[in-house]
Amino acid sequence: MKHTMWSVLMPFLYSAVVAACSKDDNDKEVSAQTPGTKNGTVSGIVTDAKNQPVKDVRITVEHTVWYNSYLFATSDNEGKYQVSIPDDPAGDWTAKAQLTKTAYGQTYKFDLEPDKTDAFNKAGGAVRNFKWKLSGQRPGGTGFYGAHVDLYQFGADVDMTKIRLSFTPFPGETSFIDGTPAAPFERAVEDVAGTYMVKDVPIGKYLIKAIYAGKKLLLNNRHIDDNNEESKTVVFGKAGYLGETEYNIEFFVTE
pLDDT digits (tens, 9 = 90+) for 109-152: 999 999 999 999 999 999 999 999 999 999 988 899 999 999 99
Answer CATH for 41-133 from 3.30.565.10, 2.60.40.1120, 3.40.50.1100, 1.10.1060.10: 2.60.40.1120
pTM, two decimal places: 0.82
Sign of the C-alpha dihedral computed for residues 236, 105, 131 and 44 taken in this order: negative
Closest CA to 222 of 209, 206, 238, 211: 238
Mean pLDDT value across the chain: 86
Residue 9 is classified by DSSP as H
| pLDDT at residue 218 greater than cutoff 60 | yes
CA 132 to chain centre: 7
Question: Is there a common fold for 41-133 and 147-254?
Answer: yes
Q: Residue 9: its pLDDT value, please?
A: 35
Q: Residue 140: its pLDDT value, please?
A: 85
CATH (residue range 147-254): 2.60.40
Q: Residue 188: its pLDDT value, please?
A: 97
- Give the integer Cα–Cα distance in Å for 15 and 150: 72
- Give the integer Cα–Cα distance in Å for 150 and 127: 38
| pLDDT at residue 43 greater than cutoff 50 | yes
Question: What residues does each domain of the chain span?
Answer: 41-133, 147-254
| pLDDT at residue 230 greater than cutoff 60 | yes
